Amino acid sequence: MVRRHGGPAARRRSPFFNTVLTFVAIFLLYLAVPNIGPVVRAARADGIGGRFTARQLECIQHPGHESCTWMGDFRSADGTVRKTDVAMYGSSRESLRTGQETPAVDVGRPRQVYGPGGSMEWVFTGLLLLIGVAIPVYLYGGPLRRALTGRGAPGTPGDAGRPEPRESEPVR
């Protein structure tokens, strides 16, 4: 029997590989799905407007680069919401000074506020979501599609009426 490259026999993966990838997809969805609402609100700067007061600069040194974030206090415009020790998303060493106030939006995250321009944080969450959905589609989409359309492997119930190829004939 002639096997064509990329045919069903060539596409078989080990069950262990499928299981590991399935768990990776579940983990990525576990990380992404709960963050959909907050990142959409953050992207749109949809929340309670107020002021952020910079109190302390926190920096992490990495080989070849430094990442800094301003920590401080948030107070809503009407004074009803106050948060202490929150991070200003997207801030850097040069963006603020100690004691400086800047407009901010509280989108509901307990330890973070955002600038009035929103954030691009949704891109990372969107990628996690996309990969988390793409993995099961890659792993199970073909067999599921074949099962739904009734085009199973030769000799299976979904293959009724289709003759099996002879060994001397190439598979088409």
Which residues make beta-bridge pairs with 46? none
Q: Where do the H-state alpha helices sit in 8-162?
A: 15-32, 36-44, 122-149
Separation of alpha carbons 153 and 155, rounded Å = 6
CATH top class, domain 47-117 = mainly beta
pLDDT on residue 12: 73
- Burial track 19-57 (b if 16+ CB lie within 10 A, e otherwise): eeeeeebeebbeebeebeebbbbbbebebbebebbbbeb
What's the rounded mean pLDDT across residues 12-32? Answer: 93
Per-residue CA distances from 161 to 42, 121, 124, 156, 158 (Å) = 56, 53, 48, 10, 9
Instruction: Check: pTM over 0.75? Answer yes or no.
Output: no
pLDDT tens string 98-141? 999 999 999 999 999 999 998 999 999 999 999 999 999 988 88
pLDDT tens string 72-86? 999 999 999 999 999
Q: Where are the domains of the chain?
A: 22-45+119-140, 47-117
